[in-house]
Structure 1
Amino acid sequence: MTALVIVGAGPRGTGLLERIAANAAELLPPDRPLAIHLVDPYPPGAGRVWRRDQSPLLRMNSMAEDVTMFTDERSTLDGPVRPGPSLAEWARRPEEFAPYREVADPAVRAELRALAPTDFPTRRAQSAYLDWVFRRAVADLPPHVTVTIHRDTARRIDGPADGPQTVHLTGRALTADHVVLTLGHLDSAPHPRHAADAEFAARHGRFHLPPAYSADVAGELAALAPGEPVVLRGLGLAAVDLVALLTEGRGGRFEPAGDGPALRYRPSGREPVLHLGSRRGVPYHAKTGYRLQGPPAPLPRYFDAAAVDALLATPGPLELRRDLWPSMAKEVAFGHYHELFHAHPERTALPWPAFLARYDRCAWYSPERAALVAEAVPDPADRIDFERLDQPLAGLALGSAEELQAHLRAYVAADADRRADPAHSADLGAFLALLSLFGQLPRVVASGRLTARSVAEEVDGWFSGYFNSLASGPPGFRLRQLLALSEAGVVRFLGAGVRVDRDEATGTWRASGATVPGHTVTATALIEGYLPQHALHRTLDPVLRQLHGAGRLVEEQLADREHTHRSGLVAIAPADGRLLDPALGGAPHPRRTALGPHTSLRAAAAFARPRTDAPAFRQNDAAARALLRSLAALPAEVLAA
């Protein structure tokens, strides 16, 4: 019998299992039985990050109808499309989708029954959906494929490249013909800049929390005293989660403030005082709470396979901002204006065909494009402005901390209002076009044509942060809550360009920002309010640490004459995810594969939206088909079992 070990049974491992089930009939003959072993200490389907055992205050940042684990008619892959319900469709009538099993938690059952397609579910609701997706994937496997779940941790992998692999768990060892690492989001030892703050906190008896997953550190937050001044560095999703746990999670409550969407916060008295700041100084833009008002834009149009082929055919090194961004920006703006012209034509001054014909001919950085937009879109508020979106506080210098609070409250309120108003649905058009960029961007990075500096500073640096701030923001109600917390004095904004220094004399941290020159806040606790960024050379995952130490996998390292970039990602073959093995001269290991955010095949770290041709589906499908072909071709005399 052929054996496959998948280490990591969360969403990525589940997605791979679904693709194995979809492709097995074609690629794995009935006379080649396959035993699949899934290894994960956390529940299969949900895994660590999406496990049910976490606070009901923690929410998804996607609407229920925008989350799917299934391919559909827009998916471009070699294997068969196997449609399935989105989270919203499944929650509406779970008993109609086999294999049915009633959700055990009555609170989650009640949430699912009441869940509207445009609601932002709790992570516990998503956990229930992922549990069902996993059970469906198992049920869809053919009879000659079996699955065994091991609630255990993989510690070590060894074995020859041309023979069976041994996966050592905490309690036993598994022999496999192939091993796949779908490890999901991982932890690393603290970066030196965080280690210095941890040592400072230990010396002075202070509280310090390095980047972490909110569900894992909820208990540690109890060490913060009521009223304690805390600097929380970061204004993305992790920061929003931590604020919720430290306010509503301590007994405070939100209530309506009048007839509109505004909220008022009633403190419990047990909250610390949270000083929030970041590089941009503003929260991530809220997710839109509406659907497109016009027809979907035909994406991609400018940053498609043909455009990337042409770029890769040009001689010389490439840079993202110089060579790719003009097409990428034009694509995102196309999505924005397509929705504006089709859904809100009364706010445009040209017919869409006339606009598009001229827009097609314009270079992004050209007076002609700027003049066309000014002519066709009279209101500047209806035009997309990438620089303003990226740095809304750039050049702003205020005279006092109170002026900053007022300015940020107005900014947050305006952003929440805009993202809740379908009159601004062009923002959603831009968001969908932004997602489409990941259809080609990983291919450009994998080509090796970008300079090392561009990958470091522009892909992994600027664009990653820009994408997150525009596309990975919290639900709109979170910004309303942040506004209420600010008005209640529980949250204080620090502005942009935040700097945090250690004061050895007082054992405190001193935080300042560029928006209010000269203003400083003193705090007795420091929280790094953003998600951990995995780095292979500092990984805490035992399997990756063992393989790296043994020289059997390599961290992606890009180098040219001017720059060297260590991305922290595990280097894999982009075509099928095989691990690149230094012991094999850097060639792909024939029996080891890795998929997910810890690998060099970059993708948006988000669940797939229906009908967007999500790259993760193509990656999972390609890996599953390569695995099945490889396993089916193994001679019977060399099988692991």
Structure 2
Amino acid sequence: MPRQMQERRVAVIGAGPRGTSFLERLLAAVEHAPGEAAETALRILVIDPAPHGPGRVWNPRQSPLYLMNTPANFPTAAPAGDTQVRLPASSVSRSFAQWREGHAGEATASPVRSDSFEPPVFHGVDHGGQDSDYPTRAAYGQYLSWLHAEVCAALQRHSGITVEHIQAEVTGLRRGQTGYELTLDSDGENDDAPRLRAEQVVLALGHIPAGLNETGEHFSSVAAELGLHYQPPAIPTEVDYHALPAGENVLVRGMGLNFFDLMVQASVGRGGVFHEHPDRPAGQRLEYLATGDEPHLVAGSRRGTPYRAKSTALTTAPGFAPVGVTLHHLSAEAVAAAERRHDVLDFSAHLWPLIQRDVLRTYYRTLERIAPELFGAEFLTALDVLLADAHLGEAVLQARGHRLLREHAPGVLWFDIRSLGRPFGGLTFDSAEQYQQHMETYLEDDAVTSAAGTQSPVKMAIGALHLARMEVKALISQGRVSQSSQIGEIEGWFESLVEGLASGPPLQRIEELAALTRAGVVEFLGPEPIFDVDRETGRFTAESPSVAAPAYQARWLLEAMMPANRVQLSRSPLVAGLLRSGLARPRELVDASGAPRAGKGFDVTSLPHRLIPADDAAEEIYVLGLQLSSVQWGTAIAAEAGGDPESSARSLADADAAARAVLAGPGSGIEGDSSLTESPDRD
């Protein structure tokens, strides 16, 4: 190292998946630009109070009852497969599936208390290591721990690069005389530590504490006043489910992915057992044997139902959708043509009509394939002609679709994907018992369609919806969708529709929920539930206006959801301090009325994403992950192995751009999508 070379410090705040991806991309940049790296003296400060690599969410010591929401062949924190064409691999780049293949014993080990219970195995789910299974989160945490350690070791083998791990929380960040000063809170372990200095900072914060909305604040204060128990939104591993009272009602708000974690902890986590009946049809294959120690979960959500299960027919090809699903109408050519005519894309006007047509095309082609006797010989041709008419609005398309079915398939109903998201919309129920019966049927039907895989028109149509979502995500990241339609339409209704239909749990969880419903451990409120407090009885209450039944009462109310991903609600001292000092600001969006609205995430530059402070000065603070939610839609837990860097592997492209900018040094001015380059030829 030349004597005159000064050491440059880079602070990576957050050592979970995003921070680990940044370090892996930095390693790749160093390995592919050895001349540039040789001229760089870097001290990399990796700072996180949680385990470095997995972070809080993927801690390898968590209960093995918690499953990932994707099969093993999907997630990665480093480029793999086709992704490496545009994001060159580092010497240690591995996907989760690639790592697990060589670390099977480690991946199936359970470094948890001996009183934990293993999840049941059925429907071909092989927790021993098939790529199509849904592994434990602890196993993914082991992968992240391995990748983080390997990347840091490889970085330190390069002359002039030092990696220092600091187990502490960064509570403050401010401009210094040169670069930035970081304040640490290490829980009393290192009270005398001086402030750290860094010329560049990478924010890879992940999930951070958030304040409550008005309703949550009300429930929290009432609980304290009346001696009730209110559990606000939280990461599941940080909730004490053992405190839930056996045999008592526990009101649950939300039936997304966190609900399934609660459900399994309140059943198998209390010693209960699922007994398998493989000879029974899907949806009825499990019987729950209770211990009597379970709480009685009374759950509600706006749609009245939990997220639908994923199809069992997932492909290993990019897209994470059933085999055979393609987008015919939402094509690059159609989107480009809409932009030429209208300058900026409006979701409802220009994108949703194309998405709806692909959903319909997929549904009826699948149904005709598995039941051709239902259709006349010319049906598919006539359907293609109908869907090709881009001038038909949604209402007219539906009316003509009904007419087409009457002519060619009189026994077939019109498929409405929006109604599928609210299956009980407009219906009323005479009793709570009647609603439970409908829910049992609903869950069993969902299990049947998931198990059918490519033979299910419904799940194939949902697969088309999911592929369309990935395209919309890419368009939003590229700044091609109007802000007003992002706020009013995508966030307003499309997000909840696609999340409820396409982002659900593995089939195993729906089978378990159906069994728990039959056993009376879980009960459902009904659509649009109202959660409240009855001061006369001193209890929380919950009821649905669609179900003729007395309100449920309980001492416990639990929010089955993650903390709000909105920087202005953050209770992180670091994020709050950045906003307060003006070093960061929320991104401002404009709604359909022209009124400005603070977005969920930080205001950042184009790729590589850097904070834009209140004074508009150029900052060397790079942002990765959840706090980019104002310029990206969706908060995927991981990149897709082999995925497109502009859509399903976007988090790796973000990390790659930040890493190359950091390696180039402060003020390098690297902007735009320059990170998405062709990799050099490899053997």
The TM-score range, normalised by the shorter chain, is: 0.7 to 0.9
Q: Does 1:68 align with 2:76?
A: yes
- What amino acid is the match of 2:496? G
Q: Indicate how the Cα distance of structure 1 residues 346 and 580 shifts in structure 2: closer, same or farther if over 3 A, else same.
A: farther
Q: Does 1:552 align with 2:583?
A: yes
- Give the drift of 1:370: 6.6
What is the CA–CA distance in structure 2 between the aligned matches of 1:266 and 1:513, rounded to whole Å? 29
- Deviation per residue, 1:168-209 (Å, 9 max, x gap): 222443322211101111220111210100111111111111
- What amino acid is the match of 1:60? M
Q: Indicate how the Cα distance of structure 1 residues 610 and 55 shifts in structure 2: closer, same or farther if over 3 A, else same.
A: same
What's the counterpart of residue 321 of structure 1? 348
What is the CA–CA distance in structure 2 between the aligned matches of 1:343 and 1:70, rounded to whole Å? 39
- Give the drift of 1:312: 4.2
What's the counterpart of residue 158 of structure 1? 174
What is the CA–CA distance in structure 2 between the aligned matches of 1:22 and 1:337, rounded to whole Å? 46
What SS does the aligned partner of 1:157 have? Answer: strand
What is the CA–CA distance in structure 2 between the aligned matches of 1:126 and 1:449, rounded to whole Å? 34
What's the counterpart of residue 256 of structure 1? 276
What's the counterpart of residue 664 of structure 2? 632
- What amino acid is the match of 1:237? L
- Deviation per residue, 1:325-354 (Å, 9 max, x gap): 112333455566677778998987679996
Counterpart among 6, 11, 34 of residue 5 in structure 1: 11
What is the CA–CA distance in structure 2 between the aligned matches of 1:281 and 1:554, rounded to whole Å? 37
How many percent of aligned residue pairs carry the same amino acid? 29
Structure 1 gap segments, 5+ residues each: 637-641
- Give the drift of 1:66: 2.5
478-487 vs 363-372, which moves further: 363-372
1:92, 1:113 within 8 Å by CA — same for their partners in 2?
Answer: no
What's the counterpart of residue 604 of structure 1? 634
Q: Indicate how the Cα distance of structure 1 residues 33 and 375 shifts in structure 2: closer, same or farther if over 3 A, else same.
A: farther
Counterpart among 179, 183, 187 of residue 209 in structure 2: 187
Q: Indicate how the Cα distance of structure 1 residues 630 and 186 shifts in structure 2: closer, same or farther if over 3 A, else same.
A: closer
What is the CA–CA distance in structure 2 between the aligned matches of 1:78 and 1:152, rounded to whole Å? 35
What's the counterpart of residue 279 of structure 1? 302
What is the CA–CA distance in structure 2 between the aligned matches of 1:532 and 1:237, rounded to whole Å? 13
Q: Does 1:32 align with 2:45?
A: no
What SS does the aligned partner of 1:180 have? Answer: strand
What's the counterpart of residue 680 of structure 2? none
What's the counterpart of residue 200 of structure 1? 222
What SS does the aligned partner of 1:265 have? Answer: strand
What SS does the aligned partner of 2:639 have? Answer: coil
Q: Does 1:132 align with 2:141?
A: no
What's the counterpart of residue 251 of structure 2? 231
431-440 vs 553-562, which moves further: 431-440
Q: Indicate how the Cα distance of structure 1 residues 240 and 618 shifts in structure 2: closer, same or farther if over 3 A, else same.
A: closer
What's the counterpart of residue 184 of structure 2? 169
What is the CA–CA distance in structure 2 between the aligned matches of 1:104 and 1:265, rounded to whole Å? 24
What is the CA–CA distance in structure 2 between the aligned matches of 1:355 and 1:33, rounded to whole Å? 67
What's the counterpart of residue 529 of structure 1? 560
Structure 2 gap segments, 5+ residues each: 1-6, 120-125, 669-683
What's the counterpart of residue 26 of structure 2? 20
What TM-score does the superposition give when structure 1 sets the normalisation length?
Answer: 0.86
Alignment of 1:407-486 (within 5 A): 407-424=438-455, 427-428=459-460, 430-431=462-463, 434-441=466-473, 443-444=475-476, 447=479, 450-452=482-484, 454-486=485-517
What TM-score does the superposition give when structure 2 sets the normalisation length?
Answer: 0.81
1:300, 1:331 within 8 Å by CA — same for their partners in 2?
Answer: yes
- Deviation per residue, 1:569-604 (Å, 9 max, x gap): 2222242211121122xx6x3301111112223243
Alignment of 1:210-609 (within 5 A): 210-217=232-239, 219=240, 221-257=241-277, 259-260=279-280, 262-292=285-315, 296=323, 301-315=328-342, 319-333=346-360, 358=385, 361-363=388-390, 365=394, 366=397, 380=412, 385-424=416-455, 427-428=459-460, 430-431=462-463, 434-441=466-473, 443-444=475-476, 447=479, 450-452=482-484, 454-560=485-591, 561-584=593-616, 589-599=618-628, 600-606=630-636, 607-609=638-640
What is the CA–CA distance in structure 1 between the aligned matches of 2:221 and 2:257, rounded to whole Å? 26
2:454, 2:460 within 8 Å by CA — same for their partners in 1?
Answer: no
- Give the drift of 1:542: 1.8
- Deviation per residue, 1:88-113 (Å, 9 max, x gap): 443233289xxx999683999x9998
- What amino acid is the match of 1:286? A
1:556, 1:567 within 8 Å by CA — same for their partners in 2?
Answer: yes
- Give the drift of 1:387: 1.9
What SS does the aligned partner of 2:29 have? Answer: helix
What SS does the aligned partner of 1:581 have? Answer: coil
- Give the drift of 1:401: 0.9
- Give the drift of 1:523: 1.8
- Deviation per residue, 1:239-279 (Å, 9 max, x gap): 11112112221222221246335222222222221111110
What SS does the aligned partner of 2:532 have? Answer: strand
2:540, 2:555 within 8 Å by CA — same for their partners in 1?
Answer: yes
2:355, 2:468 within 8 Å by CA — same for their partners in 1?
Answer: no
1:332, 1:430 within 8 Å by CA — same for their partners in 2?
Answer: yes
What's the counterpart of residue 111 of structure 2? 105
What SS does the aligned partner of 1:431 have? Answer: helix
What's the counterpart of residue 148 of structure 1? 164
What is the CA–CA distance in structure 1 between the aligned matches of 2:479 and 2:494, rounded to whole Å? 18
What is the CA–CA distance in structure 1 between the aligned matches of 2:73 and 2:149, rounded to whole Å? 21
2:10, 2:200 within 8 Å by CA — same for their partners in 1?
Answer: yes
| Cα RMSD (Å) | 3.6
What SS does the aligned partner of 1:64 have? Answer: coil
What is the CA–CA distance in structure 2 between the aligned matches of 1:375 and 1:349, rounded to whole Å? 8
Counterpart among 649, 653, 658 of residue 617 in structure 1: 649
Q: Indicate how the Cα distance of structure 1 residues 428 and 295 shifts in structure 2: closer, same or farther if over 3 A, else same.
A: closer
- What amino acid is the match of 1:200? V
